[in-house]
Structure formats: structure tokens, C-alpha cells
Amino acid sequence: MMINIKDLSFSYPEQDKILNQINLKFEPNSMNLLFGPTGSGKTTLLKLIAGLYPKYSKGEMSGKIDMDEKTAMLFQDPNHQFAMKTVKEELIFALGNLQVDPAQMPNRIDDALAFCGISSLKNRTISTLSGGEKQKVALAVTVAMKRPVLLLDEPFSNVDFESKKDIIRRLVQLKEEHNRTIIISDHNLSDYIGIADHFFNVQNDSVKPIPVKQIKNRLPHHPDKEIEYKIMSDNDPIINLLNFSMTDGNQNLIEPENIDLYPGITYLNGKNGSGKSTFFKALSRLHSYNGVVKILNRNIKKSSLPFLMRYENLVFQNSEDQFLTITINDEIQLAKKNAITKNWTDDRINDLMEELHLDQLTDRVVYSLSGGQKKKLQIVIMLIRDAPILMLDEPFAGLDQESTTIISRLLEDEAHAGKTIIFASHQQTELVDNADFYIELANHRLTYKEDVHES
Amino acid sequence: MNPSLKFILVLIIALEVSFTNSIVGNVILIVVGLLYLLVKRVKLKRLLWILLIAVIPAIGLLISQVLYAKSSHAGILLFTRIYVYVIYGAAFTLTTKLYELVNSLEQNLHLPSKFVYGVMAAFNLLPEIQAEVNKIKTASLMRGVKLHWWSPTLYFRAILSAIRWSENLAQGMESHGFVEGQSRTFYEPVKITMVDWLVFVFNVILLQAILLLL
């Protein structure tokens, strides 16, 4: 299945061309990796190949994409891409669309779920799944469809490390045994060395093939190392959990537990669906729990919500949840107006916006930004707010290496200045290496870990 | 019974009841409807709750007819009519799964699949709306903005969320192979059986007997 792109250009309304005169071939039976800074056009290119753009955008396209087969695409945002209630119903829906013989459906569904390691999710209601689980379900749908071309837009941004390695291995198998063309966009290339056949850099309105050798040189050096974390602190705890437990409605996520959280950086790690997001929501009173949660010695159930939200803020997994206005500039102005401290001066904000390449976009409607740009803006406005406790749910999903480094450094500075940073992430970032504490959420327990071997 | 036929039957009952003036007919229909609900073992608490809620408009109508139109017959008629609507509405909704209805509407009544799956997706999102509104409120507090139920920003954000959902959903459905107007295969074919037809015709005739003869 050859995909032949000729003189392809695309621009969104009132913006410069995001892709300009692209000439590109994707060979049959190949795994291709797209990488490049946030907002460079990776999603745009994938949606053009999928035939979703220009139909679902107001943009303008010129040039041609030649291919004679159909595609299946997985979206970057795991939410709201499913029409049906349960995982099984969604798979039946997709197979029904392809006019698959109903007698074959059960096998295809079971195979696809097993492929993604999520057979146990078959009868679950999709809206109750975690972000990472939804990504795996979306992947299972694309696998079940058996289309010759698979387009995966940052499929692993919320997926735990082990599952990612496992699924990549199976994708290779799929490619080789079933002759698929697979195109993946991802910011983390190290998992694809020796696996992907071609790498393409999407940057400055062009798409350039990059030899694997050069890719190796670009990778950040990650030696095998033992990282040590603290399990005790000289400081008083800032959050106390007393006899704390929570469920997701069906099953226990955390069993009754006493645990304290301290100022500094705490890395919360756990597999997909273990309950990290729900834990953050419980601490923000967006999810029910049993037991007592004290922040600065105040029971949060007895504090008023507006009061509580001056002490703890959450950077949501889905960036759009955090936006209240229309343009980037409006969001920044609102953040400045309602900042708890005056630590963020105009100069500091402007420098940061420039560093994150958001300074040229201030008039843009926030919803028109790329996934990574939204994430950066979201973190900036929550930093400006400057609450003493900042929880971040997958803050690095969709971010390129440069932005990840900048944001890690910023969060470290905040922690040194006395702030409490608690974050969950499946990306191996500097912030993981430099965290003070490491809490693992596994087997329904929250446990401090002293040393973690990282490879 | 086939969900589409059941749906049509309930519609016919509602329509005919609107045009007849038999209190006895209404009462018989109410009793039959209640018996059906009990036989189907619906949750009693839920049923009682529905019946209780309907008291408010029913009594309102009764009082206004008795006081202003000076007609206790019209009052009781409207009172019983409301209960026929409510009980048959419950008889339909409490005994039919949305998934089955939608499958049947698509396969038996041949409604456009775009409509069918659009409705389905919207219903599946309903439980998320309450959570979404709470999230919007808390997220705003984190930005230092207090949203009340009358705040325009709350509605702006909620409507925006809905628009984003529908946009994402349209693309999601298409990427999952959905093409408007293209035929589909069905994992669970829904048929209208002979028994369904017999039950349907029998019920319609019975309805005429109750409403016209009494």
C-alpha cells in the first residue's frame, strides 16, 4: 500500500501555511515515525492522509494524496471519539460500518482486544475508562478494522511504559505479517530505534526524511542509572491522608491508607487505569473518597471550595478543561488578574511565552492551537496562578523535548522556592529524575519508593 | 416485543387518548399499564417516583378545570389522561434499552443511521454532562473565577464543550469507518417476528374496544 503525497500544501484560516509543497512517499509494509515541535503540523498531516481534512477543518488544501486503500486513525485526544457506550459496542459499530460478516465479529473483537492487552475492558463503559485505557481502546478499534493504513497520532502519550513497548512490538508484527503501512507521530523516539523503518521531521512547514543514524545522535543521553528518592522529609507534611480510600464505582482503586505528602516534587507513578487521575480529582473534591484529607491541617471536606482552590490547583489531563476565555492573550490576562501572588511579573511571563514559542500566537483562539501548544499554555496559566500546591496530571503529554525540558526546569524552580509539586507522567522526563519523592500506585496502594532503577 | 413496534403502539395509545373523552377507558388503560409494569418487574421505587412527580401537573389541571371551567368531568378526564401518558411513557422507557431501540429503529424502521448513532452518542454523553459542569466550576475556581448557575461563562463553556464533543465525535465516527448512507452489517439483527405483529395488532384492536365501546 503506497501513499504518494504530491505538492501538498495546507493552511488554516488566517494563518500561514502549516505544510508547504510536501512531496513524500510512505511505502507498503513500513513503520514510519513523524516527529517535530508542537504545532508543526503532525496532526494536520495525519488527518489529511485520513481524509478527515479539509472536510472537518476550515482550512485550504492544495496538491494530491494518492492512495487506493482506506485508513484507520487514532486521535491524539482520547476523549469523545467513541459513539457507543461500551468497548464491545464500539468495536461492533466499527466492524458493522465495514460490513464485516457478523459471524466473524466476535473473533475479530477478541483478537484486537488481546492485541492491545485489554481483554478485561471488553464490557466496560467507555466514559469510565482512564485516558490511557481509552487510548488503548482506540488502538484496538483501529486494529480490529484491519485497514491497510494505520495512522496513530501520539497513541502513547498517556500509555504506561510497559504497555507501550508491548504494543510497539505487536505493531511490528502486524506490519510484517499483514503488510500494513503504519504512520505514528510521537515525541519520544528512543523506543523506535531499530524498529521504525523511516523517520520524518515535521518542522517549519516541511517534512524531511531523516536517516536513522542521525536520529540516534539526536536522542538525549539516558544512561542506565539508579535514582534515589527520599522517603522522609525534614519539612512538615503539607497533605495528610487519613484512612483514605476511593473506588471508581465498580472496584477499589485505593484501599484504606494513611500517607503524608511533603513540599518538594513528588512523582506519582502507576499503570493505566490504576487511579492516578481519580486520585488528583479526589484531592480537588471532584471525585468522592472515604477517610479524611487534610491540606495544611484543614479537612478539605470542611473547607469551602473557593478557599481550597487558593491552596491547591490541578493541571488537568485534558488542557481544554482549564480554559475559560477565547484567545491566548485573554487567558494570560485572566491568569494575571487572579494570581494568588505577584511572583509572575510581566517580564517573566513574556520571557516564558517566548521560550515556549507562544509569544507569536497571542491572538489565536485557544481551541485552534495544536495539542502540545494547548498543554504549554495550560501550564503557563496555572504557574501564573501560583497556588502553593500544584498537581499535574500528565503535563508532558504532547510536548516536544525542548518544551519538556523548559517546563521541568520551571517546576523544579517552583519546588525550590517552597512549592509542592505532585505530578503523574508516563514520559521519562528530567522531572522524574529530579523529583524528591516517588510514590507508586500499584495493587490499590500508595507506596513511597526509595530507589528506582531506570533504563 | 420489538422496540420499534412498542414505540409505535405507545404513540398510537397517546394519540387516541388525546381524542377520546372516556374516563373509564383511561382508567382501564392505567390499570392495564400498571399491570404490565409490574409483570415486567420494573424497579418499584422508580415507578412510584414517576407517579408521584406526575401528581403535580395532574392536580394542577384538575383544579383549574374544576374551578374555572366548572367541569369536574373535564378535570377528571385530564387528570386520568396525564396518568395514561406517564404510565405508558414509563412502560416504554423502563422496559426498553436504548441500545435495543436504536438497533431496531435503524434496522426495522430504516431511520438514517446518522440520526440513529447521533442520538445514541448524545445519550451516552448525558451522564458525563453533570460531571462536566462540576469540572468546569472547579476548574474555574482554580483560575480564581467563581461561576454561579446564572454565570454566562458557565453556559459559554458548557456549549463550547458540547460543540467540541460533536466535532470530535463526527471525526471519530468517520475514522471508525462510518460513512453516511453506506449500508452496514449488524451483529445483532433485530427482526419483527410474527408474534410481535400479532401482539401489536391485538393490542391496537383492544385499544379501540376500550376507548370506543366504553
DSSP character string of B61-109: HHHHIIIII--HHHHHHHHHHHHHHHHHHHHHHTT--HHHHHHHHHHTS
Strands A239-247 and A290-295: antiparallel
* B175-192 pLDDT per residue, tens: 999 988 888 899 888 889
Q: Of A363, A361, A372, A430, which is closest to residue A398 (Cα–Cα)?
A: A372
Residues with Cβ < 8 Å from B162, sequence gap 6 or more?
none
Q: Which residues of B touch A79 (CB under 8 A)?
A: 168
d(C-alpha A64, C-alpha B18), whole Å: 60
Q: Which amino acid appears at position A181 of this protein?
A: T
pLDDT score for B70: 78
Q: Which residues of B touch A314 (CB under 8 A)?
A: 142
Contact check, Cβ <8 Å, A340/B144: yes
Q: Of A300, A387, A301, A376, which is closest to residue A340 (Cα–Cα)?
A: A387
* B30-88 pLDDT per residue, tens: 999 999 999 988 888 988 998 898 888 888 888 888 888 777 888 888 889 999 999 99
pLDDT score for B12: 93
| Residue B16 and residue B55 share a domain | yes
Which residue do the cell numbers 374555572 mark? B68
Supply the pTM of this predicted model: 0.85
Domain annotation covers residue B185: no
Q: Which of A92, A127, A324 sits opposite B143 (nearest CB)?
A: A324
Domain range A225-454, its CATH number among 3.40.50.300, 3.30.450.30, 3.40.1190.20, 3.10.150.10: 3.40.50.300
b/e A137-160 (16+ beta carbons within 10 angstroms → b): bbbbbbbbbbbbbbbbbbbbbbbb
Domain annotation covers residue B49: yes
Asked whether the beta carbons of A10 and A61 are under 8 A apart, the reply is yes
| Residue B66 and residue B128 share a domain | no
What is the total count of domains within chain B?
A: 2
pLDDT score for A221: 64
Q: How far from chain centre, in Å, is Cα B51?
A: 15
Domain annotation covers residue B38: yes
- This complex has an ipTM of 0.84
A3-218 fold: Rossmann fold (3.40.50)
Asked whether the beta carbons of A238 and A436 are under 8 A apart, the reply is no
3-state DSSP assignment of residue A389: strand
| Residue B170 and residue B123 share a domain | yes
Q: Which of B121, B144, B185 sits opposite A83 (nearest CB)?
A: B121
Q: Which of B121, B139, B171 sits opposite A322 (nearest CB)?
A: B139
For chain A, the C-alpha Rg in angstroms (whole number) is 22
Asked whether the beta carbons of A285 and A301 are under 8 A apart, the reply is yes
Domain annotation covers residue B19: yes
Q: How far is CA A108 from CA A98, A112, A141, A168, in A?
A: 12, 6, 10, 20
| CB count in 10 Å sphere of residue B178 | 20
Query: In a mutagenesis test of the B interface, which of A52, A81, A101, A137 is the best target, namely the one with the most B β-carbons within 10 Å?
Result: A81
d(C-alpha A158, C-alpha B138), whole Å: 23
Residue A228: beta bridge partners?
A451
| Residue B84 and residue B134 share a domain | no
Contact check, Cβ <8 Å, B186/A96: yes
Q: How far is CA A380 from CA A165, A217, A282, A330, B162, in A?
A: 31, 31, 23, 13, 25
Where are the alpha helices (H) located in A146-295, listed in sequence order? 161-178, 212-218, 276-283
Burial of B84 per CB tally in 10 Å (0-12, 13-18, 19+): buried
* A93-152 pLDDT per residue, tens: 999 999 999 999 999 999 999 999 999 999 999 988 988 899 899 999 999 999 999 999
Q: How many helices (H) and strands (E) does chain A have?
A: 13, 21
Domain annotation covers residue B69: yes
Q: Which residues of B touch A89 (CB under 8 A)?
A: 99
pLDDT score for A294: 96
CA distance B90 to chain A (A): 22
Angle between helices A371-385 and A346-355 (to 10 degrees): 160
b/e A86-117 (16+ beta carbons within 10 angstroms → b): bbbbbbbbbbbbbebeeeebeebbeebbebbb
Domain annotation covers residue B180: no
Low-confidence ranges of chain A (pLDDT < 50): none
d(C-alpha B88, C-alpha B94), whole Å: 10
Asked whether the beta carbons of B145 and B153 are under 8 A apart, the reply is yes
Contact check, Cβ <8 Å, B143/A381: yes
What is the residue range of B139's domain? Answer: 113-175
**Average confidence score pLDDT of chain B:** 88
Q: Of A161, A141, A162, which is closest to residue A72 (Cα–Cα)?
A: A141
Domain annotation covers residue B104: no
Q: Which three cell numbers stand for residue A143?
A: 486494529
| Residue B118 and residue B91 share a domain | no
* B87-135 pLDDT per residue, tens: 999 999 999 988 888 889 999 999 998 888 888 888 887 777 888 888 8
d(C-alpha A138, C-alpha A419), whole Å: 37
pLDDT, mean of residues B153-168: 86
Q: How far is CA B80 from CA A45, B24, B48, B84, B88, in A?
A: 62, 9, 16, 6, 12
Q: Which residues of A touch B127 (CB under 8 A)?
A: 127
Per-residue DSSP letter, B147? P
Q: Which three cell numbers stand for residue A392?
A: 499535574
Q: Which residues of B touch A99 (CB under 8 A)?
A: 183-185
pLDDT score for A350: 96
Q: Which three cell numbers stand for residue A418?
A: 517552597
| Residue B124 and residue B66 share a domain | no
Prior bond of A54 cis (ω within 30°): yes
CA distance B185 to chain A (A): 5
Which residue of chain A has the CA closest to B114? A83
Kindly report, as residue ranges, where domains of CATH 3.40.50.300 are found in chain A: 3-218, 225-454
Q: Which residues of A touch B143 (CB under 8 A)?
A: 322, 324, 334-335, 338, 381, 385
Listed by number, the residues of chain B in 108-127 with a beta carbon closer than 8 Å to a beta carbon of chain A are 117, 120-121, 124-125, 127
d(C-alpha A219, C-alpha A69), whole Å: 34
pLDDT score for A48: 95
